Amino acid sequence: MTVATPPPAKRSLARRMMAIAALWIGVLLLGGGFALDRTLVRLVEDNFDEQLEYVQTALITSAEIDSFGDVQLYRSLGDQRFLEPNSGVYWQVTGEGHQPFPSRSLWDRNLKVQGDHFDNEPHFYDSDQFEDEPLRIVERTVILPDSDTRWTFAVASARDELDYQITRIRSILVWSFAALGLGLLTMAMLQSWYGLSPLRRVREAILAMRTHGTNRITAPLPLEVEPLVDEINALLAHTEQQAEEARMHAGNLAHALKTPLTVLTNAATAHDPRLSDLVCRETKTMQRHVEHHLARARAVGRRASGHARAEVWPSAESVLRAVTRIYEDTRFDLDGNRDAAVAMERQDLDEILGNLIENAAKYGGGSVFVTIDAERAAKDCTIWIEDDGMGIPESARAKIFDRGARLDTGKPGTGLGLAIVRDVVQIYGGSVDLGESEDLGGLLVRLTLPRSAP
């Protein structure tokens, strides 16, 4: 039993933009929130510590040594909470060999100070020595006048107020950054919706072309979308041109085949005794027309594939080798740029050069020169084909490219060679012109083709 494969999920440009925006907004908000939290918490703690240090300084400046060598205060501290038992703010003076001198707020408790070292500067730390009452303590070691004892002055305060302030700050930060993140995501969503609206308008315009018969996107669009619209319109114009060319050549082929078919039908109906000759003649005519249109159709198809490239020198050499076998008494010369390449298929280049060189040998007087002219900075490659024949009068050069046109009917041919050359060259964006050869005196064919990118 074959399990049906689920269709692949459709990729959404809007969802991709929103995912990127959400990722970066989250990263920036988390990073910014963490940095701001550290900064604000540090400021609150520093302010709390400054108050403790202020009380400690007042305590040190109020201390003196009595006649028994113990510490006493010659003035009381201004904060009445030091007089209230378990008020949450405490101080204590401790010296080695002396009983601790605590504030009345400690009542029957003592601070476990870290007096085993000398703190020349205030030393702050947290303590959990009182149950259910975390403390923030500052210590400093001082040697008072008239005493050799190292006295440790400690001031402590319950962390309840400090922790409350920190919790309040963090709560405000969380809600503020959550609202900011939601607002930024909403803005990114609106921006994505509004920013992609031109693409929806392009889609609607294409739908209108398919349903209402319009052939161009004419709605005003932002500058960033205009290049896309221009390319779509150019593609539509190119498609229309190809369709029109296809209709035109289909009509031309139908018209070209209509006369021979009419002749054959009338001859067959009338039992014309020359029917076999008519069939041979008219079928050759139809074959010429079919070959012409097929050659043009092949060139159009190969041009549409893109990235065509053909080297001119090898193609010319190949054609000259083939034509030399037919016209053994004709002298052929090939000169010019050996590295030139044109933007067309090798098969079409061979067909073009074959027609032109064979005509030069057929109607020339015995000499054919082929010159490849392609400068490095030039966009086009020019191929000169000259012969020493009678040439073509200037008045007849334009119509010689028409289908079936022949100036010399004494020699075999269909009259389609130059017509095929002109059509194929024009398909690739080139040109073909006729003139008079200054060196040989016969016909000069100037074939211009677009160069291929190196």
In tens, the pLDDT along 394-451 reads 877 777 766 544 444 444 443 446 777 888 888 888 898 888 888 888 889 999 999 8
The least confident of 59-68, 275-284, 287-296 is 287-296
Contact 156, 135 (CB under 8 A): yes
Q: Which residues make beta-bridge pairs with 135?
A: 127, 158
Same domain, 247 and 268: yes
pLDDT tens digits for range 312-370: 999 999 999 988 988 888 899 999 888 889 988 888 888 889 889 988 888 888 899 99
Same domain, 362 and 439: yes
Give the CATH number, domain containing residue 345: 3.30.565.10
| Domain residue limits at 119 | 17-166
Q: Spell out the SS3 assignment of 403-438.
A: CCCCCCCCCCCCCCHHHHHHHHHHHCCCEEEEEECC
Mean model confidence pLDDT for the chain: 81
pLDDT given for residue 399 in this prediction: 72
pLDDT given for residue 4 in this prediction: 55
Q: Is residue 215 situated within a structural domain? A: no
Position 43 pLDDT exceeds 90 = yes
pLDDT given for residue 414 in this prediction: 39
pLDDT given for residue 296 in this prediction: 62
Domain ends where: 257, 274, 301? 301
The residue that leads in pLDDT, 258 or 301, is 258
Same domain, 234 and 362: no
Same domain, 272 and 389: no
Same domain, 162 and 23: yes
What is the number of structural domains in the chain?
A: 3
Question: Counting every residue, how long is the chain?
Answer: 454
Collect all residues with Cβ–Cβ distance below 8 Å to 91 and sequence separation of at least 6.
55, 56, 59, 77, 82, 102, 103, 153, 154, 155, 156
Same domain, 50 and 90: yes
Domain ends where: 239, 266, 301? 301
Position 293 pLDDT exceeds 70 = no
Tell me whether strands 151-158 and 331-336 are parallel, antiparallel or unpaired: unpaired
| Phi, then psi, of 124 in degrees rounded to 5 | -105, 140
The residue that leads in pLDDT, 301 or 69, is 69
> To which H or E segment does residue 352 belong?
helix 346-363
Same domain, 354 and 283: no
pLDDT tens digits for range 221-280: 777 778 888 888 888 887 777 777 667 666 666 666 777 777 778 777 877 777 777 777
Q: Which residues make beta-bridge pairs with 140?
A: 153
pLDDT given for residue 400 in this prediction: 73
Q: Is residue 178 situated within a structural domain? A: no
CA distance 8 to 409: 66
Q: Is residue 97 situated within a structural domain? A: yes
pLDDT given for residue 416 in this prediction: 45
Position 204 pLDDT exceeds 70 = yes
Mean pLDDT within 70-77: 84
Q: Please state whether 90 falls in left (phi above 0), alpha (psi between -120 and 50) or beta.
A: beta
**Buried (b) or exposed (e) across 24-45, using 16+ Cβ within 10 A?**
ebeeeeeeebeeebeebbeebb
The residue that leads in pLDDT, 75 or 10, is 75
Same domain, 430 and 334: yes
Q: Is residue 210 situated within a structural domain? A: no
Same domain, 407 and 273: no
Give the CATH number, domain containing residue 24: 3.30.450
Q: Is residue 348 situated within a structural domain? A: yes
CA distance 156 to 141: 15
The distance between the two most distant Cα atoms of the chain, rounded to a whole number of Å, is: 160
For 105, which DSSP code?
Answer: G
Same domain, 391 and 443: yes
Q: Is residue 383 situated within a structural domain? A: yes
Same domain, 322 and 289: no
pLDDT given for residue 413 in this prediction: 41
Same domain, 243 and 329: no
Q: Which two tokens stand for residue 3?
A: 């399990």
pLDDT given for residue 167 in this prediction: 92
pLDDT given for residue 136 in this prediction: 92
